[in-house]
Each structure stands twice: as C-alpha cells, then as structure tokens.
Structure 1
Amino acid sequence: MRRLLLLPYTSCFISLTALFPISATADSNASAKTPIEEVEVIGVKQRLEQAGALLDTIQKTEVIGADSIEAKHAANLSEAIAESPGVRVANECSICGVKRIMLNGLKGKHTTILTDGLPVHTLISGYYAVDAVATTGVERIEVARGAGASLTTPEAMGGTVNIVTKEEFENSGAVDVSAGENGFRQIGLLATAISDDQKSRVTLIGQFDTRDQFDGDNNGVSENPFQENRSFTVRLSHDLSYRDNIVVRYSNVYSELFGGPVLGKNVGSIGQALASFANGPSQQLFVNNDVNEQFIGQPYETAEWVETRREEFSVQWLRELNDSWNLRLSASYSEHEQDSFYEGFDYFGDDELQFYDARLNYLASATHQFTFGIDSKTDTLESSSIAGQASPDYVADSFDYQTQGLYFQDTWTPTDAIELAFAIRLDKVEADFTDPAQPGTEIDETIVSPRLDGRIFHNEKWTSRLSAGRGYRAPLSFFETDHGILDGDAGFAIDVDKLERSITGSYALSYEGEKFVSTVSLAWTEVENLAGLSETDNGIPLLTQIDDKGAVTSADIALSYPLADNFTINFIIESYNYDDNFKESYTIAPIEERINFGFDYDFSGWDLVVNASWVGSRDLTDYGYAGTDVSGSVINKPTNAPSYWTMDFRIAKSLSSSLNFYAGANNLFDYNQAADESSPLFFDSEGSYDVTYIYGPLRGRELYAGLKWSF
C-alpha cells in the first residue's frame, strides 16, 4: 500500500506571530499490522528549504493567515492587517479616502508593500491602491517591522508587508458572495489546478467589491468615498526539472473612488459633479459658511475623483546548482495609471516600476549560509495637469528614481540556541525631478546600509529576537506628504537634496507554552532628513525636509490563551511615543495608545469571532491641528481627540461540507467622528476650506451577510 503526500509548496518564513503561533502537526493512523510506505512529492524550493539551503530572515514577523483574513471579513489589504500588532492603517483624507499603512509608528511612506516577496507597488500606488488589493486568493500576509526587513527593500524604514498568493496542490475552487449596508457588495472567485504529472500548478483569482459614500453628519459632503474595485490575477508555478522551478504572476487591478457631494442627493452622477466646474465657484460652500450645515456650493468644489489602473507582472526562477549552491533570478514590472480630479484640479500620473534581482545562496557548512546578490530598481513618474499647465509658472512633479545595489548576508548558527544574520547593502541612488524647471539631479548618493538580526532560544518556551539596522528612502511624491497634491494647481516646488536615513533597534521576548502565548516588543527608530510639506511665499506646495532628526518609540504586548478547547481569547496593548520633530512632520494625528481585545468561540456548529478596539485620547495641537467650523470665526474646532471604542463581529456556520453561511458587522455600535464628535472639514485662518481634521473613524456601521461555496 502506498500513500502519496503532496506537501505544500510555499515560501519559507519565520513564524513568530503575536496571536496565532504557527505549528505543524502530522497525523498518522498507520496500523501496526499494515505498514505504510510514505512517498513525499515536493518541489525544488521546499526541498531546499528543508535542507537548510534556502534560509530566510530570522527577524520577528507577524503572519496573518487566510483563516484570520476570512474571520475579519476583510475585503482588502488595509482591512486585513488593521488590527495587527504595530500596524496602523491611517485614513488621511475624508473625501478621497487615501489610506496609508504605518509600521512601528513610522509614516505610511516608510512601509514597502511586496507581493510574493517582490516589489510591484510603485511610489504612488501605495496611496489609493491599498484598498484595491484584494484578499481573495491570499494565502497569508507577512508583516516584518523595522528597517531592512528584506534584503531587497532597504527603503522599508518602517518595515514590509508581503502578500503571499495562494498555491494549492489539488484541483479546487471557491465562490464567495456577500452584501451589506452602505452599498457593500463583494464577489470573490478562486480556482486552482494541477497537471497530471504534478509539475504545474495554476491559481486563478478574481474579485469585485464596492461601497457607497458615507455621510455621517448628513451635511451633503461624504466622509468616506464611493469605491469600486475589480481585480484579476493568474499565478503559474512549474517545475522545469528536478532542480528548476519557475513562477510567473500577472495581475490587473482597476479602482474608482469618488467623494465629496453625495451622489443622488447633491449631484446626480460623477460626470455631473466634474462638469459643474464650468459653472465657476459659488459664493459659499455651506449654509452660513458652517461645515456642519448643508453643502450648497457647486458639486465640483468638494468633489474628488480618482481612477486607477494597474498591471503587475513578475517572474522568479530558482535553480539548484548542487548540494551547496542555488541561484534565484527575479524580475517584476508594474504600471500604475492614475486619472484624477481634486476640487477643480485635474492630475494624471503614469508611474512605471522595473525591478531585477539575482541572488546566490551558498550553504558553506552546518553553521554558515552566505547570500550574495545584486539588484536594480527603476521608478519613473510622468505627470500632467490641464488646469496646472494653464499657469505659466506650473512645475510638474514628474521624477526618475534609480537604485543599483549589491548585498551580502551571512546567516550564522554557532549553537542550536543562537541564530545570527548579518546583512549589508551598498547602493547607488539617483533621484531626479525631470520638469525643465527643476534642472540637475536632486539626489545622487552612494550609501551603505547594514543590519543585524538575532534569535536566541533560551529554552523550549522562551525566545528572544533582536534587530538593529539602517535604512534609506528618497522623498519624491507629493502624495506621501499628507495629500499635498490637492494644492498643486499652481505647480509643485522642490527643496529636497538628501535621502531620508534611519536607524532602528528592536527587541522581542516571546513565550510559548502549551496554551498561553505572549510576545513583548520594543522598537526605536530615528530618522534624519525627514520630508515634510510646506509652501512657498506664493502659496505653492513645497516638498522640503526637516533639519533636525525625528524619533519614535513603540512598545506592544500580545497575549493569546484558550480558556477552553472551543474558546480562545486574544489581547494586544500598544503605545507609541513621538518626539516633537516627528510630530511636526505629521498632518494627520497618529495613534498613541491602542488596546485590542478579541475572542473566537465555537458552539453547536457555529463559529463566533468578536474583536473590540480602544484608541486613547490625543492632544491635536501637538500635530498642528487648527481651524474653525465657520469661515472667519474666532471659535476654534476642538483640539482634544477623545478616546473611543469600536467593535466588529462575525458568526459563521457550515451548512454542508462545501457551503458556509456567515454574517456580521463592522463598527457594530456605529461610532464615527462626523456623527459623534466633529466634522473632518474645516476652514483655516485664511478662510480656505480643507478636509483633513481627522482623528477618528470616518465610516459607520456596516452589517453584512454572505455565502461561500467550496468545490
């Protein structure tokens, strides 16, 4: 009798998760009378991993698995990781809904998003594209915090978010359909197939989701935009031979956002809102010039519309040269096109990214593995604006960004209890704003970035992880400076000539008992040449850099404990401390304190998942908040952001072996800033209208229900 085991063919990763420790179990029902011969059929990549010839980073990594993503009913990347330790998803515009992923308290621009370990997100696609990254077909999301979290991403000063595509080893499929309040609709399609010889595996993924605008205070201006996303992905993995594997991935993403005048109430359609620009400005935007009163201006005066199209392509070839050497060649390409309209200012951007990497791994001995690599990245933005070019002084924000790097890593295991990885990169960096009004190359530097990671097994239950490293990035986009693109109708001014540089140190102590699991983490990051947004004497937005260094310290503790076989509780507490210079660089106040509590309870065939989050109060004056609800008023908006609670839940039941029903609610108690506290809209001291007085949730309760059919 022979039993064929098809082992998962996945990328190697280190499993220190704060809430969901990863373990492997083998189930053997072999009879003593009938011996079973096991035949393992595995690909070259997993075979090298098992042999220790493909070692990955040893730093602390949180892993959000497919089950966790499903339990949250997360439609996109930002929803999937929002409650993870050390992660904050910030909404930085109440009208267009731009989202940023912040790690260890750093800004969203300091986070690098990877797909299957490769960069496919351009410099401007991390702003509106986060909500367009579908979760259908995602095997897991790996969050590694700290500078140099990947050998090929030194610009990830806050860390990396790696989205790993699902790869099955059987013919299968799934259809997931759900709907809910506020126009929520989602359809997810997943199909996997393998060839008869098991050498080829293909994954097909499709997702469509949409949400209506949300206007919590009913003043006719939305606090969250209408959003529609469509995506299609195909991934092919093929074993060319016993020693060769190639993986090819293609993805096509479309997203449309519209915020501002409420569709069906203040304007009939998106087209009508944009066309109202021909009518010219109104005398006043709101009744009594008060943002809490009804919007009565021309629809275009609060309208923000963003349409994006993105194509991604990547290929990875792994070749085992012999028992000690293996080679991996990787390439990725993406093109992100954005067509947009910001309250009368149109903006078109075409951003292309090309990345190439060649890496040699050498298993020198039982205690040393060396990695040698070379990579190249080019990110090119070409932007234009009809409204902007009408001004003779208009300057575009187009740029060329190129890096060529060499890197080396030695992974050393001196004893069974100690693992150390020392890595160093040498990079040639050039950043050039290409508008003729910006002559010369703004940044041309050659820099060295080292990093040290260590893991110490104190005993079977206690483990320490420590990291220290340097990172860099080039500040290039006005989008990254808290939505600076909105003021660009007169052009963009550049005062940038240095790379942002960071130094990071972190430590994590983890305990894993038979039931109780906990992790305590500390991190400190200092950044010099921190970019910020200012303006010239003529009111033109100016991309500049802060003279003094800024620093942030973060601490978090995560606990998990099963009170019973069917009842598990999870608890996270986080704290962030920003110095004055770092606070100065923010326009949207970050979270300073957060507590997350949740549980998973199985009963009578039902599965109930509940998650509650508390965010502490903040002094908004620390982050430069100032403004009034009424234009010209001397009564300022509140600058004390109160603490608040939100709660989500999801309940599911298997109706059959292939059909599941689920229902739930996001933000169950309907707490949102506009309805319960203060409008995110305001007038500044000069009487100009803005949309960034944000400190709380901007979308209310969303009840939903759905069915998932697996086959």
Structure 2
Amino acid sequence: MGIPLLSVYPIRKATRTIFYFNMSTTIKALLFAVYYILPGAALGQTTISGTVKTTSGQPVPYATVLAQGSSNGSTTDEQGKFTLTNLLESDVTLITRAVGFQTHKESVANLPAAQTINITLLEDNLNINEVVVSATRYGLDRREAPVIVNVLGPKLFNATQSVAMSETLSYQPGVRVENNCQNCGFSQVRLNGLDGAYSQILINSRSVFSALNSVYGLDQIPTSMIDRIEVVRSGGSALFGANAIAGTINIITKDPVENDWQIKSTNSITGGSSWDNTLDFNTSYVDQDLMSGATFYGMHRERQPWDANDDGFSEITKLKNTTFGTKAFYKPSEQNKITLDLSVMNEFRRGGDRIDLAPHFTDITEQLQTNSLIGGITYDHYSKDWKHKFSLYLSAQKSKRDSYYGGLGGSTNPQDSITAANSYGITEDFAMVGGGQYTYNFENDVLTAGVEYNTNRTTDDIPSYGRSIDQSTHALGSYVQYEWKIADPLKALIGGRYDYTHIDGDYRLLNQVRSSAENFGTISPRFTLLYDITETLQFRGGYARGFRAPQAFNEDMHVTSIGGQQVFVLMGENLKTEYSNAYTGSFNYTRNFGSTQTSVLIEGFYTDLQNPFTTVMTTQNEQVIIQEMRNGSNSKVYGSNIEISAAPSGNLTFQAGGTIQRATYNEGQIIFDGENPGEELIVKQYMRTPNVYGYLNTNFKATMPLSIDLTGVYTGTMKVPHYQTDRRMIITKSPDFMELNLRFGYVFAVKNDFNIELFAGVQNMFNAFQKDFDTGPLRDSDYVYGPTKPRTFTFGIKIGHFH
C-alpha cells in the first residue's frame, strides 16, 4: 500500500518499522499513522477484524494494528476499521498505536478462523508516546529514546502566554533562562547549570544558529512558527558536533498537516506602564493527495521600554520585531520527499536612557538593528521495502547587525564625546551546514551514519574602540551509531563522531592583538543503555564526550557597560580546546491508575569540564574594561532532576519539576584581577547559578469552551558578581523568587471550521522581581538576576480554524 505522509519519521517497534506523522497531538481529527507492512505468511488461516475507537466512541483513523512478534499488521480506515489476515498463531497479542493516544496491547486467545474485536485507545495527555528526533537523528517513540527528551509544544506556549521562544524554555527540569544585561536584554539558556555557550541550538535538526544569532535570537523566534521544541540534556557532540556539551535545543518549525489558519493578537502591560503588542499568524495548505503542502507563519511585535526604579534608564528594552517564514514539502513519489524551510527576521532593540535621542547624545545606549535570513532544503529517499533511508541536506543563515554600544557615561568632556560619536559598529555573520545521512532498519536494530560539513564566518567592527573580530571556522565531521536490541527489555546505543576543525581568527581591541590558527581532530564517543525493568519502569544510563573549540562565543558578541565604561571580551593567548565527560542515569516510572495517566522521572547527572573557557576581568583604563577569555580551573557540574506528571483526564493535567545541583571549580578560579595586589576575586562556585530551581504547569478545562492555566517558575538563591564604582568587585547573594502566572481562555465555536478565543491573564502575579538594580550612568548593567519581567497583565483574541 502507498504511504500518504507529510512528515515521515521511522520508528522501530518489535520486528518492523512503523512511520508516524510529526504533528501536534491535539489534532484528533487527523491522526495519521503511516506504516509499511511486509507480506504475511501464506500458510495462516486466521483473520481478525475490528474497530479502533476513543473512550467516547469516536473512530480513530490511520491507527496501526500489529501482531506482536511478526511483521503482520494493518491500518484503520476513516471509520477506524481494520483487518488482519494470515495469522499463524492461535494466540496473538495486538499492539495498536496512533498519534495522540497511548500504546494499547491486547491478547486474543484461541483464535477461530475469523474473529471481530473492538479496541479502545486512551488519550496520551502527557505526550509520553510522542515522536522525537533529537535523541538519535531519526524518529522514534519518546519511551524508546535512549536518552531523556523533553518536548515543549503549543499547549504550553498558550498556557504560559509566550510570544517568543525565550519565554517558555524554563518549563522543564534542568533548564533556566536568564537575562544578562539591563541595557539590551541579552538572554541565554542554561542546561544543567552550564552557560548558554555550552548548549547547541538547532533549527529543524541543523546547526545554523550561530554565536551571533544566540545573543538575542531567543527573543527573535516566535512561538507561532514552532511545532515543538525538543530538549536533550547532557552531551550531544557525538551527534551534532562542537558546543553541545550541556545538550541540544532543537526547534522544529510547523509542518503542513491540514488546511487550517489562525490569527492572534496578544497585548501586555509590563509593570503597569509599558505596552507590549504582538500580532502573529500561521496557515497551512495541503493537497488532497497529500503529495505537497506548505505552512506560512509570521509575527510583528512592538514593545515599549520599561524603567524599574524611575532613574531614567531602562531595565526592559524597547523592541520591534518582524518575522516571516514558510515550510513546504513536495513528494515526487511515495518514496521521495523534498522539504524547504525559509525564515526572515528583522529586529530593532534599544536600551539605556533618553531612548528618543540619537545614541551618541545619551549617557548609555545599547542599540541593535539585526536582519537574518535562515533557510534549508532536505531531500529524503526511502527504498521500496522502507528499510533504507538516504537524506541530503543543506541549511544556511546570513545575518547583519548594525550596533551601538556606548554613550557619554555621565561625562561631557571632548574625548568622551568623540568616543561616543564613533561607537557605532557593524557585524556580519554567515553559517552553513550540509551533509548526508544513511539509516538502515534491521529487524530489531538501527544503523545510522553520516557526514557533515559546517562553516561559519563572523566579522565584528567598532572603530571607536579599535575593536574587530574576523573569525572563520570550518569543520568536517563524520558519525556512526548503532542501536542494538541486546534482548527484549535491553537496548544499547553505541556511536561516535570524528570532527576535524580549522579555526582562523584575528581579535583586536585597542592596542592588543590576538590570533588563533588551529587545526585539530576530535573524537566524541557515546554509549547509552535503555532497560525496561518492568512494563512501567525504565532505566537509562549513558556517557557522552563533548568539546568546544577556542573561538568567539555568544557572550563575546555582546558589549555591556559598567561604571560608564564599555566591557569587551578579548580572546586569551594559547587557548586549549575544552573537553567534557558527561554521565547520566535515570529511572522513569509511567503507569495508568484507572483513567489517570502518571509519570515520574528521577535523573542524575555529572559533567566534568577540562580546560573550561572562563572570562576574567583584567584591564581597566579610561576607555574600556577588558574581560579576557582564559582556560580556567577544571570544574564539575552534578545534581539531579525530578519531574512528576499526572493527567486524570483530557480536562486536567499537572506537571512539576525541579533541579538540585552543584557547579564548582576544582580549584579557586579568578574572575576579577584587581588593580592592586591582593584585590583579585577568587571563587569556587559558579556565578549566577542557583542550586535549586524548578517549574509547575497545570491545565484545567473547566468546561468545553473554558480553560484555566496556572504556571510558575521557581529560582533559588545564587551568587552574583557586582562591580562597584570604586573599581572593586564583590559577590552578593540574591533572594529566591517564585514567579506565578494565570491565564483564562474562552473559545466560541462559531462553526466547525471557525473558532474565536478570548483570553486574559497575568504573568508574575505577585511581582517577584529584582529590587536592587544599579542606577544612573555608572551602573553595572550586568548586575541582573531572577525573573525577566515584573507583573504583567495580558489579554488578546485568537480567530481561525484551530483545535
């Protein structure tokens, strides 16, 4: 039979390969489960037919029904009916799967020549059986993934009232988003306590999100373009190359699944005074033969600056963002598919004082105008027996940034005016990744191998400070992994990647010149085990090695201001490659108690860092402050994540998770070199890293049209460096914060294909927000911690064909 699919991910199950759609589990009307069934044995005489339905009696189309231990299977039609023929055994166990539902097993004994049965599927309200691609570079059920994969989707985006990706990432264990600058709102995501540069952000599994993109890119990606975000904690260099030491964040953009559309207007009042208005849309079209389709999405956002303490300097930046994109596919035949994705992003942001003046007339201004073009093309080919898959891909991004980092710094002397007038800069960035991948599905095992080429060229110039970065990186990588089913309950994943990297960089600041010209090879092995102790209890354990090459990262593309001076990161001399060894182990318990679906995850992690890159504040003069990148003391990050989930029904779900961790240097690490002997600051603990943090997410559908969402993020105390006006640095201890959000939504079902939703809510309802910001032109704009916004009221409307 042909395979009418839109987005194919092969999934290993028992002795055959099943194909599922990558689509939102909320779409119950179009549950596509795509399959390939090998011919059954000709000698069997038994036939089973039946119907697959939901608990409410609705038929489930496109579900797969498989006789366990064989390749004999069928799929349901539009009425949920199926037929299995040529069954050899007198006793058989049927396994039924459909997207958005829990996997169902049912034993049928003493089969007569023909039998009719009814199968009832329970909704998968916790998305435990969702298909993911980030664990192995091919699609498989989350419960069969060798590592823990967390998935964030549209349901969470709505519940948290998120319009950008940065606002939703914290709602999972081991992940925290923080703001690092009062002036420009530079944010980064930390996985298991490690800085943002340790995480690799992927777009549709491609590493084109460069260091420059990640400075402000978390705010530039609208949730309206995202189908889901897959997060894998722990090292991913064995799959995706350099910089995936802490893990990977894979942004999967919306696929065309059905003909639908929606437009949403979201309006917020930040801190009771500043407006934040967003208009976004997405629409999809799919041909009736399912051989082609396209999705279009866009967002326009305007946000006013906000001043927390009435000193005339902003704590939240002025922002104007416009994004437009598309993702389309075309299938020349059932075994061939071409996918194209393209996004255009334009963003203006500005922070500091006197926002309406030209930047060089102000005391402090950080202003950025960024234009980015990101796109890619993928060709997939399947063999006729669906065991072989060949993929070729090419993705790239090009960005240009006009910047201003500077100001008068509270002074009006001629030299300061000249410096301020010449603090404009320009940054250009190009990144590309291309490669090929081969996957072979054995009866029980999967072999994956590929080759990949990455390149990135970045130039950054600010003439006033003699600042320039000219950096090129080229990496050729090859990888192989084998998923080996050792026994029925035990599976191992063994693999590795070899990367040959060339870096050529020149880094200048004032009269200091540094260069980097290195060629080196790196092997990143990986080994994981998945053991099904019982049907409800799983153990996962693994080891992965990662690396980071000596080069400019996201924080190096950002310039901040302290004490009226600009702070630049300068590459150190004779830097060594940074390596990591990451160990993880977890127990995952999933069980249904009647109609209540539950899941408990307990995970331990330990990451050892060798030659970690550390910035040390070293040089201060009348123009700039220099933070030098050095190889620091070896360090370790270790701790545990816990997540508890429960769904009594489709109308009520509850999730909560937390992290307890430690992040320490093996020896004292210098973070500040004082002007005089004995004034250096040495620490043993990572800065800006709380030992405890977590989240909660509760969704309640009070009636069919009314939904209520309560979400929250807890941030524990942390140590924060604070630069003083007398040129000293001290360490302060922040308070802890509990940020709670509440949202109400009411849907008017005007007709079958047209709905209207009115929604309103409040973010950070108890205003858990930093109270001791520095003030005035001499402030330390890096002295920022805790939640990224104060109490914010939100309301809006969504119209269209949505579920």
SS at match of 1:372: strand
Change in Cα spacing, 1:682 to 1:425, as seen in structure 2 (3 Å) is farther
Match of 2:193 in 1: 105
Residue of structure 1 in register with 2:609 after alignment? 527
Residue 148 (str. 1) matches residue 239 (str. 2): no
1:172 aligns with 2:257: no
* In structure 1, C-alpha distance between the alignment counterparts of 2:444 and 2:10, rounded to whole Å: 18
**Aligned with residue 370 of structure 1, among 447, 450, 455:** 447
State how 1:245-260 maps to structure 2 within 5 Å: 245-260=337-352
Q: Tell me, yes or no, if structure 1 residue 703 matches structure 2 residue 797.
A: no
Name the residue aligned to 1:128. 216
1:561 positional shift: 2.3
Matched residues, number: 646
> Structure 1 CA distance, aligned partners of 2:229 and 2:553?
28
Aligned-pair CA distance for 1:75: 0.7
Report deviation, 1:496: 4.8
SS in 2 for 1:81: coil
Deviation per residue, 1:232-259 (Å, 9 max, x gap): 1111111121211110111100111111
1:477 aligns with 2:576: no
Shift of 1:438: 5.4
| Closer, same or farther: CA 225–706 of 1 in aligned 2, 3 Å | same
Change (3 A) 1:38 1:209: farther
In the other structure, the counterpart of 1:669 is 766
The equivalent of 2:707 in structure 1 is 607
Q: Deviations over 1:169-199 (max 9, x none)?
A: 3221111112121211111111111124321
Aligned partner of 2:674 in structure 1 is none
**Which amino acid counterpart does residue 131 of structure 1 have in structure 2?**
D
Cα 1:35–1:643 change in 2 (3 A) is closer
**Residue 773 of structure 2: aligned partner:** 679
Q: 1:306 aligns with which of 368, 389, 401?
A: 368
**Partner residue, 1:692:** 782
User: Counterpart in 2 of 1:117?
Assistant: 205
Which residue of 2 is the match for residue 462 of structure 1? 537
Equivalent in the alignment of 1:296: none
User: What TM-score do you get using the length of structure 2 for normalisation?
Assistant: 0.74
Aligned residue in 1 for 2:457: 380
Q: Does 1:229 align with 2:321?
A: yes
- Structure 1 residues 489 and 148: alpha-carbon distance in aligned structure 2, compared to 1, 3 A threshold: closer
Give 1:27-66 correspondences, 5 Å limit: 27=53, 29=59, 36=81, 58-66=146-154
CA distance in 1, matches of 2:217, 2:764: 23
Task: List gaps (5 residues or longer) in structure 1.
Answer: 262-266, 277-299, 389-393
Aligned to 1:356: 434
Q: Offset at 1:610?
A: 0.5
Find the counterpart in structure 1 of residue 276 from structure 2: 184
Task: Give the equivalent residue in structure 2 for 1:434.
Answer: 506
- Structure 2 runs not aligned, ≥5 long: 13-19, 34-51, 61-75, 85-97, 99-129, 408-422, 672-684
Counting only pairs closer than 5 Å after superposition, residues 231-630 of structure 1 correspond to structure 2 as 231-261=323-353, 267=354, 269=356, 272-276=357-361, 300-323=362-385, 324-344=387-407, 345-363=423-441, 365-388=442-465, 394-434=466-506, 441-477=516-552, 479-480=554-555, 483=558, 492-514=570-592, 515-535=597-617, 537=619, 541-562=626-647, 566-580=651-665, 584=669, 589-604=688-703, 605-618=705-718, 620=719, 625-628=721-724
The AA in structure 2 aligned to 1:355 is V
Structure whose residues are more often strand by fraction: 2
User: Between Structure 1 and Structure 2, which shows a larger proportion of helix residues?
Assistant: 1
What is the RMSD computed on CA atoms of the aligned residues? 3.5
One-letter code aligned to 2:472: D
Contact 2:177 2:187 (C-alpha < 8 Å) held by counterparts: yes
Q: In structure 1, give the amino acid aligned to 2:359.
A: L
Moved more, 569-578 or 53-62: 53-62
Counterpart residue number, 2:72:
none
Give the residue type in structure 2 aligned to 1:518. Answer: V
Residues 38 and 483 of structure 1, relative CA distance in 2, 3 Å threshold: farther
Shift of 1:302: 1.7
Shift of the 453–387 alpha-carbon distance from structure 1 to 2, 3 Å rule, reads same
Larger Rg: 2
| Separation of aligned partners in 1, 2:523 and 2:344 | 36
Structure 2 CA distance for aligned equivalents of residues 555 and 464 of structure 1: 15
Matched, 1:650 2:743: yes
| One-letter code aligned to 2:306 | F
Normalized against structure 1, the TM-score is what?
0.83
Take 2:351 and 2:172, find their aligned partners in 1: how far apart are those partners?
28
Q: Which moved more, 1:245-254 or 1:152-161?
A: 152-161
CA contact (8 A) 1:599 1:611 kept: yes
Contact persistence 1:10–1:167 (CA under 8 A): no
Range moving further from structure 2, 198-207 or 477-486: 477-486
Q: How far apart are 1:578 and its partner, in Å?
A: 0.8
Matched, 1:75 2:163: yes
SS in 1 for 2:239: coil
Instruction: Please state how far the C-alpha of 1:315 moved relative to its aligned partner.
Output: 0.7
Deviations 1:633-680 (A, max 9, x none): 99x98822112221111111112251111111111122221xxx3114
For 2:657, the aligned partner's letter is: I
Cα distance per residue 1:575-633 (max 9 Å; x no partner): 12011359957986122212433422221331111013332223x2xx5x2444xx459
